Structure 1
Amino acid sequence: MRAYKIVFFAVALLFSMALTACSGSDQEANGSEKKEIKIGATAGPYSDQVTEGIKPYLEKKGYKVEVVEFNDYVQPNIALDKGSIDANVFQNELYMKEFAKSRNLDIVEVIKVPTAPIGIYSKKHKSIDEVEEGTTVATSNDPVNQARALIMLQQLGWITLKEGVDPTKASEKDIAKYNKKIVIKPLEPAQLPRALEDVDYSFINGNFAISSGLKLKDAVVLEKTPPHYMIGVTVRGKDKGAQFVKDIIEAYKSEEFKKLNEENEKYEGYVWPDWMK
């Protein structure tokens, strides 16, 4: 009988240990106990925001934070999906949804952040009035950001888009009329600052403009950025409710982060999300 009790308690102990181990694994899997975070961002303003405002806040809460910089709009989402990073901040919601759909990724936006607007830059012209036949205009070749450029071109009166076109999905084939005889040159987003040497005007996303040494005030024209083009923090769908994600959101909503954006002159000209106003 005594031997039976010993065996029984031994089995019970092993079962209890197994449950504890499983519980710990489940907690780690859903991110509730995660204390090391890798946040991906494109080099420039969003990487700076994380390094200067988000990382210090999270480290005070006991996290170890690594900022991983990227130089394009593809790898940050691939890295997030593969688990190489835990969150990224570089893209607007429309781009994120389009990318996720085309690659069958489960990624979601959890908060919008102060955004450097897209702008028209030029090394050859000081205004948008210096347009003549053959004027070259570089735009992003990704569908979402090219649509933004085309809408701006229409607002400037340089082109007319077909009636009824979805402004978030406009492409060159939707141009009904060239009011100015411009030549549009689609390029990789990261190449747009370098194109300034070869074209008359270049539509450059804020992050690439700033990381290349340009300032927002240098733009000939800045976009009035609507909410759907605001940059957001993206995570894997399964992590949306995880504690580390809640803490990242808390860091962005902190007074420390707001103060950073108010007082640091390099963030002058950024568009603030509604929750921050």
Structure 2
Amino acid sequence: MRFRIAAALLTTAAIGLAGCSTGAQASDPNGPLRVAVSPQPHGEILEFVDEELAERAGLDLEIETFSDYNRPNEALTQGELEANYYQHQPFLDEYRTEKGGEFAWVQPVHLEPLAVYSKEHRSLQDLPQGAKVTLSNDPANRLRGLKLLADNGVLRLKPEVSESARVEEAVAENPKNLELSTLSPDQLPRTVEEADAAIVNGNYALKANLKNPVAIESAEGSPYVNGLVTTPQLKDDPRVVKLAELLRSPEVAEFIRQNYTKETVVPAA
């Protein structure tokens, strides 16, 4: 039996679990595969798998939706889940360094290109001196945003910048004297109205219905592909293996192409 838990209820329940969990719980190999997702596009993609592909493949899914970026990894290490699907490898590496835990990267699924949105300007080259630009405050996506600006020639980064570097530590030259401000990723879409430019992750651009970016990162060779993650103990679990196969199926790739723009979500290469 497959069932789905509403995002708001799950988020509340997850906070309670974080406070009362006493350690990892054993996974039931005969039970449903419990997978944490963020609402868009991960939840929508996994719901497509659940409704159209899973039953024929003999896979029983339990989809749990989280809004907090840290909770899916916490829940995975505490044994509340068997897998999660919401993050890219650099974010996982950053989380593992800061908070510990054992994880296994299973399968890349899709890329959410980082893009620059502006209400007032048609290109990054049009930004005036002292323009206000907002970007993510999480280290992996902060550096990713700075690289996007550098790739478009509006600033230059120092060589071999680490993901933990703050903005002022990463930037070597800022000829336009851009005022670079960092915010929580979910807050960035609203700054399109306030700043000269906002650098927004694809999932949040999708949720906010942002259109016509003035710059977008290249998908070719990107390390920021979102994928399926589990624990080392469960990497070979038949349920996890089957879900990985379904997420990389032609049907899922076509679902992504039909339901999202190339500026927000594209299938992994």
| TM range, smaller chain | 0.7 to 0.9
The match for 1:244 among 219, 239, 243 is: 239
Q: Give the match for residue 154 of structure 2.
A: 158
Q: What are the equivalent positions in structure 2 for 1:99-248 lying under 5 Å apart? A: 99-162=95-158, 164-166=159-161, 171-172=166-167, 173-215=169-211, 218-225=212-219, 226-248=221-243
Unaligned residue ranges in structure 1 (runs of 5+):
1-27
Partner of 1:266: 260
Q: TM-score with structure 2 length normalisation? A: 0.82
Q: Give the distance between the partners of 2:165 and 2:224, measured in 1 at CA.
A: 14
Supply the distance in 1 between the matched residues of 2:151 and 2:93 (Cα, whole angstroms): 26
How far is 1:35 from its partner? 3.3
Cα distance per residue 1:30-64 (max 9 Å; x no partner): 66x33312221112112111111355322333433
- Tell me how far apart the structure 1 counterparts of residues 119 and 67 of structure 2 sit (CA, whole Å): 23
CA change 1:55–1:87 in 2 (3 A) is farther
Hey, what does 1:60 align to over in structure 2? 56
Distance 1:117 1:65, change over 3 A: same
Q: Secondary structure at the match of 1:44?
A: helix
Whether the 8 Å CA contact 2:27–2:79 is kept in 1: the answer is no
Quote how far apart the aligned CAs of 1:120 are: 0.6
2:35 corresponds to which of 39, 47, 66: 39
CA contact (8 A) 1:54 1:251 kept: no
Q: For 2:178 and 2:148, locate their aligned partners in 1 and report how far apart those are by CA, in whole Å.
A: 14
Count of aligned residue pairs for this structure pair: 242
RMSD across aligned C-alpha pairs, in angstroms?
2.2
Q: Tell me the amino acid that sits aligned with residue 75 of structure 1.
A: R
Matched to 1:200, the amino acid is D
1:17 corresponds to: none
Q: Deviations over 1:67-103 (max 9, x none)?
A: 2222232122112222223211111111101201221
Structure 1 contact 127–220 (Cα < 8 Å) conserved? yes
| Greater Rg over alpha carbons, structure | 1
**Given that residues 72 and 190 in structure 1 are in contact (C-alpha distance below 8 angstroms), is that contact kept between their aligned partners in structure 2?**
no
